[in-house]
Chain A
Amino acid sequence: MAVLQSRKAGDGEGGEGKVVACWDVGGRGRKGLAHVFSPTLPQIRGSRARALPDRALVNCQYSSATFSTGERKRRPHGDRKSCEMGLQLRQTFEAAILTQLHPRSQIDIYVQVLQADGGTYAACVNAATLAVLDAGIPMRDFVCACSAGFVDGTALADLSHVEEAAGGPQLALALLPASGQIALLEMDARLHEDHLEQVLEAAAWASRDVHTVLDRVVRQHVQEASVLLGD
């Protein structure tokens, strides 16, 4: 289930657009919120020296609530895993966003995981895609992500926390569905190369299913918005 909630600048905030998208998988599954601050004003937070002359800088932060996992996490962000996730998200979105259209500016994508049950990277990417689309930032295509694993000779798509903890190989895939291009591919543990294609295919198939859901949500949102504007 996915919901797109557009919330533009509230009272007293600067001219920045803020967009929220929420991705909720299953009843007890993952819930993630993605907030995108769109570059309506070419502002750079932090060092101006980081501004790139020909394209936009994509800045991602991944934060997961201390109560999101079964065992309480001590630090919501700033630890190694969160930094790595942030870098992976940045790599994914730099591949998809048309950064040349916004030189010398910064696009901030903040992802907050509220409840984690495996596949957090995929949930973050899906939520962030919706948020970036709604913020009006031009992208090449949707970015749809899914995780996959391999247990007892079968490829499994969208692993839950229990399946991830079992210790088998895990693959994370971020796909641009129209062209079939892969934005990010990451694998942990050992997997025989003969099985790689099977697992990749399972992840790609699931990503395309995710694309159907995202597409439907965006169209529904646009339809609702145009009906309201039409009045």
Chain B
Amino acid sequence: MDLGNLHVDGGVERVKELKQKRQMEDLRVDGRGCEDYRCVEVETDVVSNTSGSARVKLGHTDILVGVKAEMGTPKLEKPNEGYLEFFVDCSASATPEFEGRGGDDLGTEIANTLYRIFNNKSSIDLKSLCISPREHCWVLYVDVLLLECGGNLFDAISVAVKAALFNTRIPRVRVLEDEEGSKDIELSDDPYDCIQLSVENVPCIVTLCKIGYRHVVDATLQEEACSLASLLVSVTSKGVVTCIRKVGKGSLDPESIFEMLETGKRVGKVLHASLQSILHKEESLGPKRQKVGFLG
């Protein structure tokens, strides 16, 4: 999927040449180093109809994630656990090509990637989402809305999902069993009596784009257009890799892949540390904090 249209004198090849030259010196077009992220803005609790929400702005990329907790039946193969369902909506506001069903392909690709990175036992404690085994559990519907595309979608989306899950509050319920054996679920009277999920092991994706002989983190649209192959590395705060995926038309040799993996782990740990500190700081401000939302 090609989002960038380059309008540069001398055409695309000239830009690639310039970028490759600069990469050798660890300097990119906007002055960043190869492992630097653009300025990230994260805000949680932006949509009130949800159990948890977050908005992330990474350069020109704008993502909004809403998490809704609903009661459902556990899956047959995992009767003691709840589960997560991901849905990605590419809004036509991002680019007119997403009008109608245009954004479905990209949306499905991102949703499938999210399923894969969460497909392990440690990312989220799914057992805490179980209400009564084989009968009731919490299903977390994680809905991602892509408002603007400015490159590096996967990273921004994974950060937004982590922030939204951190912000999610699931009401506490009790299962009451009467004499006939029928079960009744009782919601707690106190609206603030909620379970908060632990997001310590929730992974974030770091996308590394191969440009020339080096790789860059957090590519803009222009840089993505110059790159033939990228590696998506999903890494937790402890540096554990949960998923790797190579994307793009070009090919990567194994040495590059190992180098990119190491960079991904290093950058991922720093990303997690900053994100955790921001989220905890925001939470400590409490309900009196000033919400920026979309106005500002």
Interface residues of A (CB under 8 A from B): 1, 3, 10-14, 16, 20, 22, 24, 27-28, 31, 33, 35, 37, 45, 59, 61, 63, 65-70, 72, 76-78, 108, 110, 112, 114-117
Contact = CB atoms under 8 A, between A and B. Distances in A.
Given A12-B6, A116-B49, 14 more contacts: A1-B295, A11-B60, A11-B220, A12-B4, A16-B96, A33-B294, A65-B66, A65-B143, A66-B66, A67-B49, A67-B141, A72-B141, A77-B92, A112-B92
A35 B49 CA distance: 23
16 contacts: A3-B295, A11-B4, A11-B222, A12-B3, A12-B220, A13-B5, A14-B5, A22-B294, A61-B100, A65-B64, A65-B89, A67-B50, A77-B92, A110-B93, A112-B92, A117-B49
Q: Which 9 A-B pairs have the closest CB atoms?
A: A67-B66, A12-B4, A35-B93, A12-B221, A110-B92, A66-B143, A3-B295, A22-B294, A76-B89
B48 interface: yes
Nearest to A43: B96
A66 B99 contact: no
B142 to A, nearest CB: 9
Given A31-B293, A45-B96, A68-B49, A63 B221 contact: no
Given A22-B295, A68-B47, A72-B70, A10 B60 contact: yes
A154 B295 CA distance: 34
Contacts of A114: 47, 64, 145, 294
B91 interface: yes
B57 to A, nearest CB: 12
A12 B87 contact: no
Contacts of A110: 91-93, 96, 99
B270 to A, nearest CB: 25
Contacts of B221: 11-13
Contacts, number: 109
Contacts of A20: 93
Interface string B250-289: 0000000000000000000000000000000000000000
Interface of B: 3-6, 47-50, 53, 60, 64, 66-68, 70, 87, 89, 91-93, 95-97, 99-101, 141, 143, 145, 147, 150, 220-222, 225, 293-296
Contacts of B53: 67
Contacts of A27: 48
B192 to A, nearest CB: 16
A230 to B, nearest CB: 23
Contact of B68 (A11, A45, A72): A72
A35 B96 CA distance: 10
Given A65-B89, A110-B93, A12 B5 contact: yes
Contacts of B100: 61, 77-78
Nearest to A161: B49
A69 B4 contact: no
Contacts of A31: 47, 293-294
A115 B47 contact: yes
Contact of B145 (A12, A35, A45, A65): A65
Contacts of A10: 60, 150
Contact of B47 (A3, A33, A67): A67
Contacts of B48: 27-28, 115
A37 B50 CA distance: 30
B179 to A, nearest CB: 33
Contacts of B97: 45
A115 B105 CA distance: 25
A45 B293 CA distance: 32
A78 to B, nearest CB: 7
Contacts of B150: 10-11
Given A67-B47, A76-B89, A33 B147 contact: yes
Contact of A66 (B89, B220, B225, B296): B89
Contacts of B99: 45, 59, 61, 108, 110
Contact of A24 (B64, B89, B294): B294
Nearest to A62: B92
A65 B63 CA distance: 12
Nearest to A2: B295
Which of B4, B96, B225 gathers the greatest number of chain A CB atoms within 10 Å?
B96
Contact of B296 (A3, A37, A70): A3
A67 B64 CA distance: 10
Contacts of A72: 68, 70, 141, 143
B48 to A, nearest CB: 5
A108 to B, nearest CB: 5
Contacts of B92: 35, 61, 63, 77, 108, 110, 112
Nearest to B296: A3
